[in-house]
Amino acid sequence: MSDQAISAAVAKLYDTYPFPPEPLLDEPPPGYNWRWNWNSAYNFCTGQKPQKQNIRILDAGCGSGVGTEYLVHLNPQAQVVGIDLSAGTLAVAQERCQRSGANRVQFHQLSLYDLDQLPGEFDFINCVGVLHHLPDPIRGIQSLAAKLAPGGLMHIFVYGELGRWEIKLMQQAIALLQGDQRGNYRDGVQLGRKLFSVLPENNRIVKRERERWSLENQRDECFADMYVHPQEIDYNSKTLFELIDASGLDFLGFSNPSYWQLERLLGKEPTLMERAKELSDTSGGLDQRTLYRLIELLDPEVTHYEFFLGRPLLPKTDWSSDNDLLAAIPERNPCMDGWPSRCLFNYDYQIIKLSEAEFEFCKPAIRMQLAAKMLVQ
C-alpha cells in the first residue's frame, strides 16, 4: 500500500475503535504519569529543575486524549496542542478534555508528516505509540525533531519485537484468514477472538495472551489495536538507535533505567560482568548500545522502548559534588505519589517503602518548599 493508503487505513481503524478506550470523567483523571510532567521529565533527563513553566507541549498522535488530558492537568502553565489522523478519535479527545476541565489545549486533525503546518516550536513533545504505526517512521521522527525547540525534550514510545513475538504471529494469522476482508476491523476482532477460543490451552500464543494481555484485551478497542492494526513496525535495540540517530537529537536515556542495568542479570557472577565491561566502541569506551543488546537478548521481555531525546543545549548535573549538594535547595517531586506516607511509587511504578530515617530526611525538604511558596505569595 502507498503511504496515503496506509494512513487512511490507520485512520479508519481508530474511527472504528477510538483508542485508548479509557472512561470519560467529569474531573481530572486519578493517578499520574511522571513522564508527562515537565518538571519531573526535565529533572530525570538533566538532574535540574527547568527554568520556565510557561511552555508549549505537542501531543503527537494524541488518540482519544488520555495522555493529552494528563499533559494539561500536570503542567498548569503550559499550552498544549494535540494532533491525530482520526476524526472520530479526536472527537473523543475533545470531549474528554472538556469534561475534565483540561481547557488549555487545541486539537488538529493532522499527520506527523505535516507538522510544518503548525506554527512555532515546542518545548516538550510527547509521541506515544505512534511512530511504529507510520509507513516511514524515520520521516516521522525527523518531522517531530524539526518542531523541537532548543533545550527541549521529546518523550517517545515504540514497540519492541522480542516481547511482542507472539502478537506478531497472531496478527499475521488473522490477516491470512481475513483475506479480502482485511481492513474490516470488526470482522478481524471477531475472527481473532474465535481463534483464541479454539486454540489449545497450552498453545504459546494463547499462554502469552493470558499471562500478559487478556485483561486489557477484554475491550474490543484494545484487541483491535493489538491484533488487527494495518501497520506496525517493531524494533530491537539496533534498529531503535538507527531511528534515534536519524532524528539528529541526543539520546537522554530510557525511562526505565533499572531494566537496562546488567547487574540485575549477571551481578552474581563477577567474571561475566568483567566480560561485559570489555565491550568497547571505536573510541575505546564501553559500547553502551551493544550492552543494551546483550541485556535484551538475555531478558527478551521488551514489549516496548520508552525514552527521552533532547535538542542541545541541555544542562546536565549528576550531583556527585558535595558542594553542589550542600548548595542545592530541595523540592518535592510533583509526581511523588503517596506522600506523606512512607509507602510510595518509584519511577517504575513499583511500591517502595522509606525507612524512618529516609522519611524524616524528606520532611524538611517539603517544609522548605512550602515556605518558599508562602514567600512568593
pLDDT-derived band at 371, boundaries 50, 70, 90: very low
Strands in the chain per DSSP E: 56-60, 79-84, 105-109, 122-128, 148-159, 250-254, 304-310, 343-345, 351-353
Domains of the chain: which residue ranges?
A: 3-161+234-259+299-310, 165-227, 329-376
Q: Classify strands 250-254 and 304-310 as parallel, antiparallel or unpaired.
A: antiparallel
Which residue in this structure is represented by grid cell 527541549? Answer: 152
How high is the pLDDT of residue 368? 54
How high is the pLDDT of residue 257? 94
C-alpha cell at 374: 508562602
Which pTM was predicted?
0.93
pLDDT in tens, 21-51: 999 999 998 877 899 999 999 999 999 999 9
pLDDT in tens, 133-180: 999 999 999 999 999 999 999 999 999 999 999 999 999 999 999 999
Higher pLDDT, 362 or 232: 232
Query: What is 312-324 written as a DSSP string?
Result: S---------HHH
pLDDT-derived band at 367, boundaries 50, 70, 90: low
pLDDT-derived band at 280, boundaries 50, 70, 90: confident
Name the nearest CA neighbour of 122 among 81, 94, 75. 81
Q: Which residues of 2-27 are buried (b: 16+ CB within 10 A; e: fewer)?
A: eeeebbebbbbbbbbbbbbbbeeeee
CB 199 within 8 A of CB 206: yes
Q: Which CATH architecture has domain 3-161+234-259+299-310?
A: 3-Layer(aba) Sandwich (3.40)
DSSP 29: P
Mean per-residue pLDDT, 242-265: 97
Residue 377 has pLDDT above 50, yes or no: no
C-alpha cell at 155: 518523550
pLDDT-derived band at 369, boundaries 50, 70, 90: low
Task: Give start and end residues of each alpha helix (H) in 302-354.
Answer: 322-327
**In a 10 Å sphere around its CB, with 0-12 CB exposed, 13-18 middle and 19+ buried, how is residue 137 labelled?**
buried
How does the average pLDDT of the chain come out, rounded?
93
pLDDT-derived band at 345, boundaries 50, 70, 90: confident
How high is the pLDDT of residue 361? 78
Q: With pLDDT > 70 as the criterion, what percentage of the chain qualifies? A: 96
Residue type, 329: I
Residue 211 has pLDDT above 70, yes or no: yes
Cα–Cα dist 366/216, whole Å: 37
Mean per-residue pLDDT, 88-103: 97
- Specify the DSSP element, H or E, that contains 138: helix 137-146
C-alpha cell at 225: 489495536
